[in-house]
Structure 1
Amino acid sequence: MGSPNGESDVIVIGIGGIGSAVVYELAKRGIDVLGLERYSIPHTMGSSHGYTRIIRRAYHENPQYVSMITRAYERWRDLEDAYGEQLLYETGSLTAGPPTSDLVDGAVTTCEKHSIDYEQLGADETAERFPGIQLPAGFEAVYQSDGGFVRPEAGITAHVRLAQRAGARIRAREEVVGWDSTPTGVTVTTNKGTYEADRLVVAAGAWTGNLIESLDDRLSPERQVISWIQPEQPEAFTPDRLPVFLVSDEEDIHYGIPIFGAPGVKFGRHYHLNEVV
């Protein structure tokens, strides 16, 4: 085991979507921060990959999320300005299903509560406006114009590079095997050395339970299956023609994202309950 590589104000374990943002925000405030990542940066072994991720304000799950989502839009634009690259694309978002479904009703409730502009469309109106989406008769849709997607890998890269410019130290392909509290802070042990810091941030995603024993029985990582489907008419599925979408039926919610970053429309299930990995 290596000797301590100096002390830091903060050590961040996990440099994915959350950890990379933490490292950047700390470093730009002048805090001495060390980031540790067991894989390369970015990588495909966690939850911050796949070229695109939906961002939306018509959040059917709970209206309480809207203030945080609004702030997220602002922070993504701030990151774009700092890094000089577009990371968030507004395609509009479409939430569709039976009129009484939790998906449609929840999206309307959120928009009404927070005075978010939206449109309600029938199945025929939806198909006329967005030819790539053919809803069953009787379905309704909620369209919200500033929904869209972000680029997770590019966002991680932007956070890490800006953090390094601000003085952060990032160590990739270095696995944390344990940590301990000390009278003055924490000691973190990896497969390559030992590090000390005043504070510790654990942003390890699916591996958090391995590092914080008290959370192990509360965290259940679940398998997420996504696919990229090549349409017969790809021109109808580009970001300027197709909004990001969520569609509910009696059993599931499925989502899709326009062609971007990989050939085909990204498609998946919104929940994979009990598919534990």
Structure 2
Amino acid sequence: MPQHYDSIVIGMGGMGSAALWQLARRGQRVLGLERFDLGHAMGSSHGLNRIIRLAYFEHPGYVPLLRRAYELWRETEALAGEQLLFVTGSLDAGPEEGRIVQGSLAACRAHGLPHEALSAAEVNRRFPGYRLPADYAAIHQPDGGFIASERAILAHASLAVAAGAEIHARERVLAIEPAPGRVTVVTERGRYEAGRVIAAAGAWIEDLVPGLRGQAVPERQVLGWFQPRRPALFAPGAFPVSNMETAQGHFYQFPSWGIPGFKIGLYHHFGEHGHADALSREPTARDEAALREAVRAYFPEADGPTLRLAACLFTNTPDEHFVLDTLPGHPEVVVASPCSGHGYKFASVIGEVLAELATTGRSRHDLSLFSCRRLAAG
């Protein structure tokens, strides 16, 4: 006979671990399933930290979720007894009429966020780790920063276990079998039954939710850490996190933290798509060269020795917005794919969203941007 739970969460990354905690704190008997180790480096949440920012150039509709995310990150810190959210301020930079600068400005104005519009010269003077071209501009928003992503997963998992949750790592899920009012999850080791299942399997979600095949596409991404020539310029108090639109692509940056090096990534990197199991996790000299080019052009005081390279995965939808919904025709299955390289910062609030969907079928938050049905319609 299958073991029975109130809810089952598949995937113990940023979203799944937060959902597990939110369900456990509601008194549910809940199981978390993870095909790799708890806190692994095969998915999307490793690499020490992830940016969090309120000036959301992607769409102003994300800002209310972000405000709640900040509240829940602070609550998680207090309960876990460790700092997880680090405020550095954020910069959104590039050509003044470009998507990043104008989108950031629109979000700030729509939601009354404190911000400053800066010229390239003002950025370079105030934050001398940057060297923006003269024709660039930037929006500075003081609440941006980063989340200690690896530690936050373990914090959510630890809180969940303390509240009675059960976690099975190294147990691959083979299938989800929904039926009216219940769902069976089949793994390599057995069968489990629950009233609801949350599929938060990251780049493997297309294997479990056939409707997302071709709609949630894994992409290889590489991050780099470089030793600064002047470390003080890249300390958290001196260097805001940033997104930057350039002729070479969209880059994102972090101050030195955890590793004594400036961290940078190229959004969509080389556009390498495929099944999550087929994409290489081994960085190459070509990966390093693409990141080094941007360091030399825009952050020359960080152009020291390479300290670390790491590959992770994006899971991209066609419009790059999240999927947070119950599965059409199967309300027993909650689908979570946040998603497209900008999701981690929301993990705390998405855990709340998923727990609400799993327990009541609806959320207090506006999820109209994130429906499964929009992908089928497209």
TM over 0.5, shorter chain: yes
Aligned counterpart, 2:165: 168
Q: 1:25 Cα deviation (Å)? A: 0.2
Q: TM-score, normalised by structure 2?
A: 0.70
What SS does structure 2 have at the residue aligned with 1:170?
Answer: strand
Q: Which range is displaced more, 265-274 or 6-15?
A: 265-274
Q: 1:159 Cα deviation (Å)? A: 0.5
Match runs of 1:111-150 below 5 Å: 111-150=108-147
Q: 1:189 Cα deviation (Å)? A: 1.6
Aligned counterpart, 1:255: 252
Q: Are residues 1:102 and 2:106 paired? A: no
Match runs of 1:185-196 below 5 Å: 185-196=182-193
* CA–CA distance in structure 2, aligned partners of residues 232 and 132 of structure 1: 10
Q: Are residues 1:205 and 2:199 paired? A: no
Aligned counterpart, 1:84: 81
Letter in 2 for 1:82: L
* CA–CA distance in structure 2, aligned partners of residues 211 and 142 of structure 1: 40
Q: Which range is displaced more, 244-253 or 126-135?
A: 244-253
Aligned counterpart, 2:215: 218
Match runs of 1:29-108 below 5 Å: 29-108=26-105
What SS does structure 1 have at the residue aligned with 2:258?
Answer: coil
Find 1:232's aligned residue among 229, 232, 237: 229
Superposed CA RMSD in Å reads 1.4
Q: Which range is displaced more, 249-258 or 61-70?
A: 249-258
Q: Which range is displaced more, 104-113 or 34-43?
A: 104-113
* CA–CA distance in structure 2, aligned partners of residues 73 and 179 of structure 1: 33
Q: TM-score, normalised by structure 1?
A: 0.95
Q: Which range is displaced more, 209-218 or 75-84?
A: 209-218
Q: Which range is displaced more, 116-125 or 200-209?
A: 116-125
Q: Are residues 1:275 and 2:281 paired? A: no
Q: 1:233 Cα deviation (Å)? A: 0.8
* CA–CA distance in structure 2, aligned partners of residues 237 and 65 of structure 1: 29
- Indicate how the Cα distance of structure 1 residues 137 and 176 shifts in structure 2: closer, same or farther if over 3 A, else same: same
* CA–CA distance in structure 2, aligned partners of residues 100 and 179 of structure 1: 46
What SS does structure 2 have at the residue aligned with 1:260?
Answer: coil
* CA–CA distance in structure 1, aligned partners of residues 110 and 179 of structure 2: 47
* CA–CA distance in structure 1, aligned partners of residues 179 and 98 of structure 2: 52
* CA–CA distance in structure 1, aligned partners of residues 170 and 189 of structure 2: 10
Q: 1:179 Cα deviation (Å)? A: 2.5
* CA–CA distance in structure 1, aligned partners of residues 108 and 188 of structure 2: 49
Letter in 2 for 1:97: G
* CA–CA distance in structure 1, aligned partners of residues 76 and 244 of structure 2: 31
- Indicate how the Cα distance of structure 1 residues 184 and 100 shifts in structure 2: closer, same or farther if over 3 A, else same: closer
Q: 1:111 Cα deviation (Å)? A: 0.7
* CA–CA distance in structure 2, aligned partners of residues 276 and 42 of structure 1: 24
Letter in 2 for 1:217: G
* CA–CA distance in structure 1, aligned partners of residues 82 and 255 of structure 2: 20
Q: Which range is displaced more, 132-141 or 186-195?
A: 186-195
Q: Which range is displaced more, 84-93 or 179-188?
A: 179-188
Q: Which range is displaced more, 262-271 or 142-151?
A: 262-271
Which protein, 1 or 2, shows the higher relative CO under an 8 Å CA cutoff with sep ≥ 6? Answer: 1
* CA–CA distance in structure 2, aligned partners of residues 256 and 271 of structure 1: 14
Q: 1:267 Cα deviation (Å)? A: 0.3
Alignment length, in residue pairs?
274
What SS does structure 2 have at the residue aligned with 1:44?
Answer: coil
* CA–CA distance in structure 2, aligned partners of residues 33 and 241 of structure 1: 43
Q: 1:183 Cα deviation (Å)? A: 5.2
Q: 1:272 Cα deviation (Å)? A: 4.0
Q: 1:55 Cα deviation (Å)? A: 0.5
Aligned counterpart, 1:245: 242
Q: Which range is displaced more, 21-30 or 123-132?
A: 123-132
Aligned counterpart, 2:11: 14
Aligned counterpart, 1:181: 178
Q: 1:184 Cα deviation (Å)? A: 5.0
Q: 1:273 Cα deviation (Å)? A: 7.3
Q: 1:118 Cα deviation (Å)? A: 0.7
Specify every segment of 5 or more residues in structure 2 that has no aligned partner in the other structure, as ranges: 275-378
What SS does structure 2 have at the residue aligned with 1:221?
Answer: strand
